[in-house]
Chains A and B, each alone.
Chain A
Amino acid sequence: MKTTLNLPQILRSAACGLACVALAACSAPVAAPATTPAQPANTTAPSAPTSQADLSGIKTYLLDKTAALKAATNDLKAVSDQYYELAKAAGFDYAALFAGNKAQVASLIEDARAKWTVASPLYEQMEGIVAGTPSLAEFDVILDAGASKEEDPANPAPIDLTLPDGRVLEKPGNLFGVSESALWGTFEAFRAKGEFDLNGDGKIEFGEALPDANVLKGAVDTLAAQASKLADAAAQWTPTEADAFTALVVMVPTMSEYFDSWKNSRFIQGEASTQRDFVAISRLADIQDILGSLQVVHQNLSPLIQGVDKTQDEAIGKGLTDLKSFVANVHSQEKGGKRFSPEDADTLGKEAQDRADAIVGQVAQIAARLGIKIEQ
């Protein structure tokens, strides 16, 4: 008898062997039905969404704002570069720089502040969307919301600044904050040493300081680069219903945080304030800008919400409008010269927060009824 085997035999035997394994395999799916849990008595499965919202308006709005921010930060960068070159030419001897180029330096600082004041609100006008969308939220921490590692060692803004002179500022905080404290001189480490009477009135008042040119350039260059990255990321982003609901639920309830920073700012505390940012623009303006972007989100979701509950859609829309008006009214009084006391600010902050909680609660009810998951 020959001991070699032929291929058909092998194949037949292979089929036999594999059949054994396959027999065992058959038991795998059998286990699954046993796991199907019975619905608990109190389970209330939401009805499935009946329509899809057209959210393209949110993206269009965001792209307009990111393009504007990109341009504005590049404008700021151009002025910051001029100031840096001037300081470099003076060997970063700021006393000599100021003595030799007082008018030019003062003009550049004023120009840079003006450019910053254009750029910052542009970001605030999209913050509601950026910070409330999980895939974009890190830009918010880097650009506008993140603390420095000294302020919040557990959760600092995840960015280090490499300055033109080679120094590295580890987690110095968000970029608008760093550039603001450099430009207005509210943080010693970011401003030039010495006293500089920018307006020549013989007194050194708030804001009369020169930025450390290295810090300013490092912060502004990175700000412009991040603004550009945000524009790219926004272009790649396609808003979903979950994104839109999440933006509303995440951002609307942050009112008390904004009022807290307003309460601690120069606008309330005056010279007693030690807050190094939010000195140039009142947080009340920022809140209105943020709410504006959230109104855009709601407007785009509105047809979907109306499909579930017209009254609640009306309540959400009215709630956002009223909240924005409420803040605008306070801001208008502030601009009119009214100085609110810290307790007034606390009362107003609580009212804003209560209104925000009510809006968010209603949004959450609609999301649940639509079966849309609000993300963490």
Chain B
Amino acid sequence: MKKTILAVVACIAGLLIAPFGASASAAQPPALAAEALRSALLQAQLDLSQPAEAIAGVQAARATYDATLAPEMARRAPAAHLRIVDGFARLNAAIQTSDAPAFAAARADVWTAVLQGSYHIVDGAIAGDDAALAQTWLPVREFRRATRFARPNADATLAIDALDKGTMRPADALEVAHADLLDTYQARLNTALDDLAATNAKNYSTRRAEAGALADGYFAILAPAFQTQRGEAALVDAQQRFAQLEQAALAGNDVDAAAAQVEAVLRGFRAAPLTEAEQARRAGQMMRYIKLVPIEYGRGIRNGQVAVDLEIREATTFRDGAEAAFNDLRSIFETRDAAGATEAAQLFNELETHIAQASDQSAVASPDVVREKSDRLIALLTELVPPAWAGQDTGADFDVVATALDQMEQAVAAGQYELAESARIEAYAILESGPEAKIAAFAPQFKTSIEGYFWFGHDGDAGLAGLIQQKAPLAEVKVARKALDGQLALAQDALKGSNAPIAVATNSGIIVFREGLEAVLILAALMASFRTSANKHLRKPMWLGTALAFVASIATWLVMRSTLSLFASFGEKLEAVVSVVAIGVLLLITNWFFHDVYWKGWMANFHKQKQSIIKGAAGQFIGLLILGFTSVYREGFETALFLQALVLEAGPSIVLIGAAAGMALVVLFGLAIFALQAHLPIMKMLIFTGILIGAVLLVMVGNTVHIMQVVGWLPLNPIRWLQLPYWFGVWFGTYPTVEGLGLQFAAAAFVIGSYFLAGRLQKHKLAHGQAKRPTEQPQPMPATK
């Protein structure tokens, strides 16, 4: 009671000196004053064996507080001010008794009360649209500890800047500032609890007392959020447990038990609640990571022994990532199914034990056991995740890609290049089975560069696959990784907002249209020329090939539903092989087309040549069948892969609507070519068809060279002076590389050369035939139109 009266008096005194303090406040920014206070108190603690110096240190800290911080604190954050005043009293008392733990605890109380006061001042200032006051006091704060993977948050700073400029409303700025600061102080609370456990284990009495008081002080900042989420009764209970923990830490008694109580209270509590989008992203990360755990574990174990350490470490990383995401969402899961959440937590622990035991080789669980537990966990988590989050978020894919690339770097650092390649492929497969489709449609300008950095290079820079193949040093791998990260970040940024149903449907329509166009051009061009009764039969093998390709594409789609990442990991290579077959057949067909169709007088002498054609009929049939199949399936495979990725995001109906629209456009385009050709005089139709086939061949050659460069089957020499827009490459297969343009040029030379060579041969043959049988003349071409 006496203490409270003293504190109230101090508070009133603070209010009275407020006007005078305002000028002092202007003299020294609060952040510098707070830091001066903090460091003076620490020095006083270090000087505790010399009471006079310790007292001087506390007095200096108090003077700084009174002159600079107290006026605003007393007026805008009276509860924090009371804590500070009380803390100073305890500091002085601790000096008198030379009680280092009590001094450390009081010091922690004063400091966290300063942070609490600043939090409330900033809070009130933002709510009152006073950006200047908020900017002055926000720097009196702590930050999350920077790690290799996480940097201190700057959201509150930027939000207050935006408030100042009038580009953000106070309510929005407040939400951002809360999220930043509460997240920070919860992280600091966790650090304090970890420190408490560590110092208790070492019996460091002063450090333990400080850590216990810090935990209590940080919780005081989080208390309003706790009350909002859990209610008044729960808050009172939590405050009691924190107070008990602080006392236990000070006395050195039953710290572990008190810490366990606090841990139980905090379970599932997240002071800065995640937004709906962040929750969906965490859920996406959780599901992706946990699915990778049994895969990595299984790869690491052979015949009951750990065969590949790195795979076990990867399993650890992915399990830890999944559990971290699970813990972020646990309170939500518990409200949906408390028993399920508990079982899931238990399974996470069991997996941790299995993997840890394998890691230190104390016991090696069978991969089947890990698989079984992972499957059960996946099933549980699938039930726990609210349906609204079921549509997978591309951001989570990028997170998992980054994790897999981290594993790749670790493997390179350890000189384990095979494992590095495995991790690289893993990362690429995740990208291919997820965001690749969206990048292709909505951020196409990044597709080539991302592929290049993943594989064998882009714009003269090395790619990861090439570097790993050459066993390049870590520094070079890091440079390529950095470039890749840059492109991925830009693509991710460009994809924001592209998961709306209309965007996904448009995306799927564009994919189907673009992938289908090339196939349709070949089919329409050739089939349109097979329109006389004499050669109509040649349409049959092409239709048959097309039908088979459709069936194969649908089968691929169905198989991919369960093993998407497996397909994605070798998709490029499969596409390259099928493309080469398609080009080979197309070259044969082109040659045949010019030779038989143009130069033999358009079937005028068909009957006379019948015998020779019949001899080649079987080859023709197979050739056209293969052409029909490969032309469609090479596009069908990629389409199935991309659409499957979109289905994961938006569900099948939206994707199929878009795909149907794209397919309708493809059919219309094909019919238009048919109609155009059917209305052309036969001669012009032939020219048109021939040119079309030639053009398609060029595009196919260009795209195939590109894909073969991506997978490293062809060298890549960029032509730097030639800048072509990305869409030009996508639609015309023209990329500025020596190999791409060179082979396209060679293909063009082949087509034109075939045309003239066939003509020359035919003339020669005719001349030769005329010499033998001067009466035999070629029949005139029938004028069908």
Contact = CB atoms under 8 A, between A and B. Distances in A.
Nearest to A319: B35
Contacts of B442: 31-32, 34-35
B498 A37 contact: yes
Contacts of A307: none
B127 interface: no
Nearest to A13: B687
A343 interface: yes
Contact of A357 (B146, B494, B673, B692): B146
B151 A374 contact: yes
A369 B158 contact: yes
Q: Identify the interface centre among A44, A364, A365, A369: most chain B CB within 10 Å of its CB.
A: A44
Contact of B143 (A24, A25, A154, A357): A357
Contacts of A252: 146
Contact of A44 (B152, B176, B310, B413): B176
B207 interface: yes
Interface in A44-83: 44, 46-47
Contact of A358 (B143, B148, B151, B153): B143
Interface in A1-28: 1, 3-5, 9-10, 13-14, 16-18, 20-21, 24-25, 27-28
Contacts of A348: 46
Given A29-B727, A135-B479, A155-B413, A16 B691 contact: yes
A153 B482 CA distance: 24
B598 A5 contact: yes
B9 interface: no
B185 to A, nearest CB: 13
B771 to A, nearest CB: 20
B157 A369 contact: yes
Nearest to A254: B146
A236 interface: no
Contact of A27 (B168, B204, B510, B778): B510
Contacts of B149: 376
Nearest to A246: B151
Nearest to A308: B161
Interface in B456-500: 473-475, 478-479, 482, 485, 494-498
B414 A155 contact: yes
A27 B513 contact: yes
A365 B140 CA distance: 13
Interface string A118-137: 00000000000000001101
Which DSSP category, helix, strand, loop or mixed, fits chain A's interface?
Answer: helix
A24 B669 contact: yes
Contacts of A156: 413-414
A154 B731 contact: no
Contacts of A232: none
A18 B695 contact: yes
A107 interface: no
Contacts of B474: 138, 158
B206 A343 contact: yes
A89 interface: no
Contact of B695 (A14, A158, A376): A14
Interface residues of B, number: 102
Interface in A356-376: 357-358, 360-362, 364-365, 367-369, 374-376
B172 interface: yes
A62 B571 CA distance: 47
Nearest to B495: A35
Contacts of A331: none
Nearest to B155: A44
A349 B110 CA distance: 20
B114 interface: no
A299 to B, nearest CB: 19
A41 B39 CA distance: 39
Contacts of A42: 159, 168, 172-173, 175-176
Interface string B262-274: 0000000000000
Contacts of A18: 691, 695
B102 to A, nearest CB: 15
A312 B136 CA distance: 10
Given A21-B732, A28-B727, A374-B151, A360 B146 contact: yes
B31 A315 contact: yes
Contact of A35 (B155, B172, B443): B443
A104 B144 CA distance: 54
Contacts of B521: 20-21
A167 interface: no
Given A38-B497, A158-B413, A364-B154, A347 B168 contact: no
A164 interface: no
B134 interface: no
B371 interface: no
B731 A25 contact: yes
B606 interface: no
Nearest to B156: A365
A343 B204 contact: yes
B621 interface: no
B143 A17 contact: no
B134 to A, nearest CB: 13
Given A315-B32, A347-B206, A20 B673 contact: yes
Contacts of A347: 45-46, 104, 206-207, 210
A232 B145 CA distance: 34
B207 A350 contact: yes
B414 A315 contact: no
A342 B506 CA distance: 64
Nearest to A360: B146
Contacts of B66: none
Contacts of A37: 496-498
A135 B208 CA distance: 41
A346 B207 contact: yes
Interface in B408-436: 410, 412-415
Closest 3 CB pairs of A and B: A37-B497, A361-B143, A368-B154
7 contacts: A1-B783, A156-B413, A158-B413, A315-B139, A346-B199, A354-B38, A376-B485
Interface of A: 1, 3-5, 9-10, 13-14, 16-18, 20-21, 24-25, 27-29, 31-32, 34-38, 41-42, 44, 46-47, 134-135, 137-138, 149, 153-156, 158, 171, 249-250, 252-253, 311-312, 314-315, 318-319, 322, 326, 342-343, 346-348, 350-351, 353-355, 357-358, 360-362, 364-365, 367-369, 374-376
Interface of B: 29, 31-32, 35, 38-39, 42, 45-46, 104, 139, 141-143, 145-149, 151-155, 157-159, 161-162, 167-169, 172-173, 175-176, 195, 199, 202, 204-207, 210, 309-310, 313, 410, 412-415, 441-444, 473-475, 478-479, 482, 485, 494-498, 503, 506-507, 510, 513-514, 517, 521, 598-599, 601-602, 669, 673, 683-684, 687-688, 690-692, 694-695, 699, 727-728, 730-732, 759, 778, 780-781, 783
Given A31-B507, A138-B474, 15 more contacts: A13-B684, A20-B521, A21-B699, A21-B732, A31-B441, A32-B444, A42-B172, A44-B168, A134-B482, A154-B310, A156-B413, A158-B415, A350-B207, A354-B142, A364-B146
